Amino acid sequence: MKRTILALCALAVFTPASISAHCQVPCGIYADDNVIGKMHTDYETIEKASKQIIELSKNPAKNAHQLTRWILNKESHAQSIQTTVTDYFLAQRIKLGEASTDKESYLKKVTSCHRVIVAAMKCKQSTDAKAVETLHNELHTFMELFGTKIEH
């Protein structure tokens, strides 16, 4: 009996595991329109936070706590956009095979992803209205490339 159990254990340890590919999120739960809608909400929060930070910075001693909250909020929403682009769109929605079948579309999508990530990074670095506007514009281009039906 011990030999049989040891043999089965050895077989289990040395048998290669079967691995099947699966997306990072459960299939069918997320739709591009919903994900992009959330990204747009993140953008709106970044825009409002940037304005609040500028206003509260006029009296930083009095507004230190609120300033900190708005800064953290802005950072969080910018990071959310970056994470969504990398984890959802780059990892799951853009297929490597598309580079062979429709190289132009593939390059546009990858380039747009990079531009959105960089624009979100620029929003983390400052409260510059131009950086926020750039993020807005890049998100619209992004939405067009991914065929969303959301109007923003």
Determine the pLDDT at residue 5.
53
Tokens of residue 94, six digits: 């853009």
Is the pLDDT reported for residue 128 higher than 60? yes
| H, E, C per residue of 135-151 | HHHHHHHHHHHCCCCCC
Determine the pLDDT at residue 150.
57
Average pLDDT over residues 15-43: 67
Q: What is the CA radius of gyration of the chain?
A: 22
Is the pLDDT reported for residue 21 higher than 70? no
Average pLDDT over residues 122-151: 90
Q: Which of 51-65, 115-129, 137-151 has the lowest mean pLDDT?
A: 137-151
Is the pLDDT reported for residue 69 higher than 70? yes
The DSSP result for 6-44, as a single string, is: HHHHHHHHHSPPP-----SS-TTT--HHHHHHHHHHHHH
Tokens 């670095």 locate to 125
Higher pLDDT, 131 or 11: 131
Residue 42 has phi, psi (to 5 degrees) of: -60, -45
Domain limits, the chain: 30-145
Q: Give the model's confidence band at 100: pLDDT under 50 very low, under 70 low, under 90 confident, else very high.
A: confident
Q: What is the pTM of this model?
A: 0.78
CATH code, residues 30-145:
1.20.120
Is the pLDDT reported for residue 39 higher than 80? yes
Determine the pLDDT at residue 27.
56
122-133: b (≥16 Cβ within 10 Å) or e:
bbbeebeeebbe
- Please, what is the average pLDDT of the chain? 84
